[in-house]
Amino acid sequence: MDDIMLSVMSDLADAHVEESETWTINDTVAADWAVDKIRNARGDFAQKEMVVREKIRQVEEWLAKEKTKTDKTVVFFSFKLEQFFDNTAKRKTKTQEIIDLPSGTLKRKFPAPKLLRDDDKLLVWLKERNLKEFVNVEESPDWGNLKKKLIVSGGNVADENGEIVDGIIVLDQPPVFEVET
DSSP secondary structure letter of residue 42: H
Q: Which pLDDT belongs to residue 179?
A: 67
Using a 10 angstrom Cβ sphere, with 0-12 exposed, 13-18 middle and 19 or more buried, the burial of residue 143 is: exposed
Query: Could you tell me the residue ranges of all domains in the chain?
Result: 3-109
pLDDT in tens, 7-60: 655 665 665 545 456 889 999 999 999 999 999 999 999 999 999 999 999 999
Across residues 121-147, what is the average pLDDT?
90
pLDDT in tens, 74-120: 999 999 999 999 999 999 999 999 999 999 999 999 987 788 899 99
130 falls in which pLDDT band (50, 70, 90)?
A: very high
User: For residue 4, is pLDDT > 80?
Assistant: no
DSSP letter string over 96-140? Answer: EEEEEETTEEEEEE-PPPP----HHHHHHHHHHTT-GGG------
Check if the beta carbon of residue 160 is closer than 8 Å to that of residue 151: yes
Q: Which pLDDT belongs to residue 176?
A: 77
Q: pTM for this one?
A: 0.52
CA–CA dist 157, 148 (Å, integer)? 12
Q: Which pLDDT belongs to residue 173?
A: 85
